[in-house]
Amino acid sequence: MKNELLEYIRQAKELAENGEVTEEKLYSMLVNIKFFQHERLVHLLVTLAFAIMTIITLAMALITVQIPLIILFLLFLALTVPYVFHYYRLENGVQELQRTYRKAEERLKK
């Protein structure tokens, strides 16, 4: 997903700055932005679920001091950290696409 998003951002910026902006291309860009926004929402929910499970497992491990819970906490933590970074990249990428869309829209109006 990361590479796909970066490639689409590159194409969108190229279109907004140098390309011939048309209504069809602008609509296509809007559809793709919505796709990436949906992807971002799904990853937000997954990230929140893992973060909540991580915190609950940590609390249980600190209260009961059981080795299996500590191991489970570490596993959840190992999954939560990459999810946070992935979500961060998606969030920033979608915001960049939205800025690029507005530039392309302004270019079409001129």
Question: 53 falls in which pLDDT band (50, 70, 90)?
Answer: very high
Residue 10 CB burial class (10 angstroms; 0-12, 13-18, ≥19): exposed
Mean pLDDT in residue range 73-100? 93
Letter for the amino acid at 105?
Answer: E
Residue 41: predicted pLDDT: 94
Residue 15: predicted pLDDT: 82
pLDDT in tens, 3-48: 888 888 888 888 888 878 888 888 888 898 999 999 999 999 999 9
Q: Is the pLDDT of residue 76 over 80?
A: yes
